[in-house]
A and B are shown apart, each in its own frame.
Chain A
Amino acid sequence: MICQECNQRPAALHFTKIINGEKTEVHLCEKCAQEKGEMFIFNGESGFSFNNLLAGLLNFDPSFQKPSQSPFQPEKILHCDQCSMTFSQFLKVGRFGCAHCYKAFEEQLKPVLRRLQGGNWIHNGKIPKRIGGGISLRKQIEELKIALKESITNEEFEKAAEIRDEIRTLEKKLAAKGQEGGE
């Protein structure tokens, strides 16, 4: 659910107000709640949730990284440039906003994943068939590039030229695949 004020961030606060017998439901993100002065609601004991656990796992106190009160340095907040979710929001909600968040928070994510996934942080399972071809090509190219560097430092220039040609053909293949796959 999205915050009803900014329509951008996920709502972290859900509450029901009853004023003079009239019931209204409110769904706000933390920031808007703060701005609207509804903060007192969750300043008290809040429920224990997965998100608390997640933040706890990181030995991380979200209050340190709350969107800074000063409006002069907003660029310092770590956020995803596609869905604009911030890392501290992720810790609060325990859910990502979009696929790109995995890239945007890659560094911070590693320890999180290791803790959540029994020490693992690299996928070792199924590769989707359609986009999978590209992945194995890219892996091959990366390996060849390492070999290229090696042969250059060893001054084996003939071999390096061969490898370079090989990389070029693979890159052409990859580009062709990318087009038909329709990124």
Chain B
Amino acid sequence: MSLERFLNQTISSWMSEEGPDSDIVLSSRIRLARNIKTYKFPTLFTHEEAKKIIFEMEELLRNSNFSRFGHLELLKIDEMQPLQKRVLVEKHLISPHLAEDSPHGAVLLSENEKVSIMINEEDHIRIQCLYPGLQLLEALAAANVIDDWLESHIQYAYDENHGYLTSCPTNVGTGLRASVMMHLPGLILTQQINRIIPAINQLGFVVRGIYGEGSEALGNIFQISNQITLGKSEEDMCRDLMGVVSQLISQERSARDALQKTSNIQLEDRVFRSLGILTNSRIIESKEAAQCLSDVRLGIDMGYITNMSKTILTELMILTQPGFLQQYAGGPLRPHERDIRRAALIRERLKMESEK
């Protein structure tokens, strides 16, 4: 019942709210990996241990009055339908790994979906905070509050030299992954991105597409995150990332200015053609939809399109993913049917904008 509520309330607050620099930065995310000292890591733990961990978390929820982020709801992976799991993955609330390969997994979700705590994924506990716009330090502060709450009840696996011990040595130390989702159409159109990505990699950051490892940069959306988790403080890691991000923001802004100066009418044409496709198409593939949505969002940011909400890109990028479309349709869809549904959903959503 309450899961239904989660899913029906499809738009999470990080998708619909605006934050600092949200013309370019769509969202900021902090993840902290933690393990409980007395249990083996999920690589080796037994079914009993896994169950005990979930039980401990349930007890903790029941017995402590932690209300900073409202009510936290515990959902178990083995009690969810495949479609429901998929929707949570598409909303970035759980990882594909938790949905597919963690039979003893669970997740704690806050009502506004800014907070999700994955249990028994690659590590026992993964705290995740997702904020709109560029708000890494805010997200870090929130994650720390949750971390302190958990630590006051749970004995973490921690040692002085290695910090927080994680199942994979690429996360050890702070267990921190800070990532920022950015919309960079200007850098793509001016073909600067291929020069910039290797430079970012050299600085110890990873650039990926919207759905994580190995995914394509659909809709000109990139995810940038830290690679190194050991040797620096959490704040320094976030500040380093913010340094790179603010560089990218100013590069993107000047690319947009240059485009407006040199090819104003071409750009305007591109934006309105894409808007035309979205408002009229009857069949649309996810790749084309993503590209058109990116164009429309750029059009809004640059003032070609007025009276349309900025968050439409993030919102529709997520709502037009296969899982969501099937949820919306109320059952499984074949790829061709999905494309029809996707076109219908986009038309409907844009109509809401014009009637507003």
Q: Which chain A residues have a beta carbon within 8 Å of chain B's beta carbons? A: 1-2, 7, 9-10, 82-83, 85, 93-99, 102-103, 109, 112-113, 116-126, 128-131, 135, 138-139, 182
Contacts and interface: CB of A to CB of B under 8 A. Distances in A.
Interface string B166-189: 011110111010000000000000
A117 B122 contact: no
B199 to A, nearest CB: 16
A158 B156 CA distance: 41
Contacts of A85: 44
Interface of B: 35, 37, 39-41, 43-44, 46, 101, 122, 144, 147-148, 151-152, 155-165, 167-170, 172-174, 176, 204, 227-234, 237
A96 B160 contact: no
Given A118-B231, A120-B230, A131-B155, A94 B168 contact: yes
A117 B158 contact: no
A68 B37 CA distance: 31
A32 to B, nearest CB: 15
B97 to A, nearest CB: 12
Contacts of B230: 113, 117, 120-124
B173 A130 contact: no
B160 A135 contact: yes
Contacts of A128: 151, 156, 158
A103 B159 CA distance: 9
Contacts of B162: 102, 113, 123
A2 B44 contact: yes
A156 B122 CA distance: 54
Contacts of B229: 117
A19 B233 CA distance: 55
B144 A126 contact: yes
Contacts of A95: 41, 43, 122, 167-168
Contacts of A139: 160
A93 B170 CA distance: 13
A113 B172 contact: yes
Contact of A120 (B151, B165, B170, B228): B228
A99 B204 contact: no
Closest 4 CB pairs of A and B: A120-B231, A123-B163, A99-B157, A125-B174
Contacts of B173: 117, 120, 123-125
A98 B227 contact: no
A98 B165 CA distance: 9
A121 B231 CA distance: 6
